[in-house]
Amino acid sequence: MSKTQPSPLVVCRNLCKAYGTKTILQDINLEIPRGKIIGLLGRNGAGKSTLIKILNDLITPTNGEATIDGGPIGIHSKQIISYLPERTYLDKTMTVAQTIKYFYEFYDNFDPAKAKRLVHELNLDLNAKISKMSKGMQEKLQLILVMSRNAELYILDEPLGGIDPATRDYILDTILSNFNDNASILISTHLIADIERILDEVIFIDQGKIILIDNADNLRAKHHTSIDEVFRQTFKANVNR
Amino acid sequence: MIDFNFDSNRPIYIQLIEQLELQIISGKIPPGERLPSVRDFALQAKVNPNTMQRALAELEELKLVYTERTNGKFVTQDTELLNQYRTHFATIKIKKFLDEMSELGIESKTIVKLLKTKGGNQ
């Protein structure tokens, strides 16, 4: 964890995104260092997914720039980022085993043995057809596939949404035990209470702007309460303004 | 295996320090015991490795834990120091107990008597 400090994994400078006159992201400045788990927290429509889509080269910013591992977003950044999108993109006609094989052929850094081990640990069936699996099971599979790549940055957009509370802890353990010192994880979620114990740092985003970046424990110390509660209080105040 | 428990209203690394401190001072993690790697320890506690690292660094400051360069982290073998910590914590708890007794309006003489009879039975 305390090896030499290379350049930050992600740097955003004055990043803006607008559709016509509607501003979605405004002057986003942030750095994501290596070896951290960072929560990207905001209400619905705050701009979380837009920021994530820019980092994954799915949309281009209107202004400003983002660099990944010191370079522009593109072929290299896609190789080192493992991305869990909000919506499932799995081919429902395939089985779990076929999907794993497909990922193995598609990504150089995909570890099929790890994927199979996680499938087993999370009680999924290698021979099950995806169309026959529940939404929660599909989300588990998708997270397994994402975490089975030896990436440098994992970007998880709402990874717990359809997963029942009893399984969430197990998912968090899976995330914790599968990230290495040199990699970082950016997790966007509104289920803060479930996830806050594993976070190093939090980014609060609202109405397209970053309103706070801080270490999770420092925030708890400063406000004498949980991140979840700090979040609620922050946004209650914002509505009243 | 240590049973960790966290209250999300307080910094996790502080709670880790408190809980590990207690384990060490009480001897539940014995003197000289080798601690798991930061990573494994973090997984046991279900916390972020950086948070565990921060707590262990602080325990090292307190001299309750030391690092052997290539071997990892160990619990101190300084029994004198452990005794000091034990006495320190006992003093704090006794003071709190005495404050509570005085709030109840119980005199020291009665406290001693109660301790001898009731306390002795448990």
d(CA A200, CA B91): 35
Amino acid, res. A96: V
Residue A225 in this model has a pLDDT that exceeds 50:
yes
Cross-chain Cβ contact A37/B10 below 8 Å: no
* C-alpha of A130 from chain center: 23
Contact residues for A116 (Cβ-Cβ < 8 A; gap 6+): A100, A126
Q: Is residue A109 part of a domain?
A: yes
Question: Which H or E run contains A237?
Answer: helix A227-240
Confidence at residue A42, expressed as pLDDT on a 0 to 100 scale: 92
In this prediction, residue A119 carries a pLDDT of 95
Is the pLDDT at A82 greater than 50? The verdict is yes
ipTM of the complex: 0.80
What are A45-78's pLDDT values in tens digits? 899 999 999 999 999 999 999 999 999 999 999 9
| Bridge partner residues of A81 (DSSP) | A153
Residue type, A220: R
Which residues partner with A65 through β-bridges? A13
User: Is there a domain that residue A85 lies in?
Assistant: yes
Chain A / chain B CB contacts < 8 angstroms? 58
Q: Which residues of chain B have pLDDT under 50?
A: 122
Which of A51-65, A159-173, A183-197, B12-26 shows the lowest mean pLDDT across its residues? Answer: A159-173
Is A4's pLDDT higher than 60?
Answer: no
Quick one: average pLDDT of A140-162? 92
Q: Which CATH number fits domain B12-75: 1.10.10.10, 3.40.190.10, 3.40.50.2300, 1.10.3720.10?
A: 1.10.10.10
Nearest CA of chain B to the CA of A69: how many Å? 21
A103: pLDDT strictly greater than 50: yes
Handedness of CA A116, A166, A189, B54 (dihedral sign): negative
**Which positions ≥6 away from B39 have C-beta within 8 Å?**
B49
Domain-embedded: residue A76: yes
Which of the residues A197, A202, A227, A229 would you substitute to probe the B interface, choosing the one with the greatest number of B C-beta atoms within 10 Å?
A: A197
C-beta atoms of A226 and B8 within 8 A: yes
CATH of the domain at A41: 3.40.50.300
Best to test chain A binding among B48, B56, B60 (most A CBs inside 10 Å): B48
- At residue A146, the 3 state secondary structure works out as helix
B9 with A229: Cβ contact below 8 A: yes
Instruction: Give start and end residues of each alpha helix (H) in chain B.
Output: 12-25, 38-45, 49-61, 79-103, 108-114, 120-121
Tell which of B4, B6, B8 to mutate to test the A interface (max A CBs under 10 Å): B8
Q: Which residue would you say has higher pLDDT here, A24 or A240?
A: A24
Residues in chain B: 122
Taking residues A109-115, what's their average pLDDT?
95
Scanning every residue of chain A, which has its alpha carbon at the shortest distance from the alpha carbon of B48? Answer: A198
Contact B12 A227 (CB under 8 A): no
B chain contacts of residue A197, beta-carbon cutoff 8 Å: 6, 8, 12, 46-48
- Rounded CA separation A192/A176 (Å): 16
**pLDDT score at A239:** 57
- Give the domain extent around A230: 10-240
Is the pLDDT assigned to residue A139 strictly greater than 50?
yes
CA angle B46, B48, B54 (to 5 degrees): 115
Question: Token pair for residue B23?
Answer: 């384990």
SS3 assignment, position B36: coil
Report the phi/psi class of residue A224: left, alpha or beta, with left for phi > 0 and alpha for psi in -120 to 50: left
Which pLDDT score, from 0 to 100, does residue B119 have?
59
**Mean local confidence (pLDDT), A165-181:** 83
Query: Per-residue confidence at A162, pLDDT binned at 50, 70, 90?
Result: confident
Identify the pLDDT of residue B122.
47
Residue B58: both structure tokens together: 């602080």
| B55: nearest CA partner in chain A | A217
State whether residue A75 is helix, strand or coil.
helix
Q: Mean of the per-residue pLDDT values for chain A?
A: 91
Instruction: Identify whether A5 is part of a domain.
Output: no
- At residue A70, the pLDDT reads 92
**Which residues of chain A have a CB within 8 Å of the CB of B6?**
197
Lowest mean pLDDT among A113-117, A192-196, B85-89, B113-117: B113-117
Q: What is the DSSP letter of A4?
A: -
Out of B9, B47, B54, the one facing A197 most closely (by C-beta) is B47
- Closest by Cβ to A197, choosing from B12, B49, B54: B12
Q: How many distinct structural domains can be found in chain A?
A: 1
Residue A151 has what pLDDT? Answer: 94
Q: Shortest CA distance to A99 belongs to which of A90, A107, A108?
A: A90
Residue of B11, B53, B54 lying closest to A220 (CB–CB): B11
Domain ranges across chain B? 12-75, 79-121
Residue A25 tokens read as 């992201």
Nearest chain A Cα to B15, which residue? A217
B53 and A35 Cβ atoms separated by less than 8 Å: no
Q: What is the pLDDT at residue A238? A: 58
Band the pLDDT of A44: cuts 50, 70, 90.
confident
Cβ(A121)–Cβ(A174) below 8 Å: yes
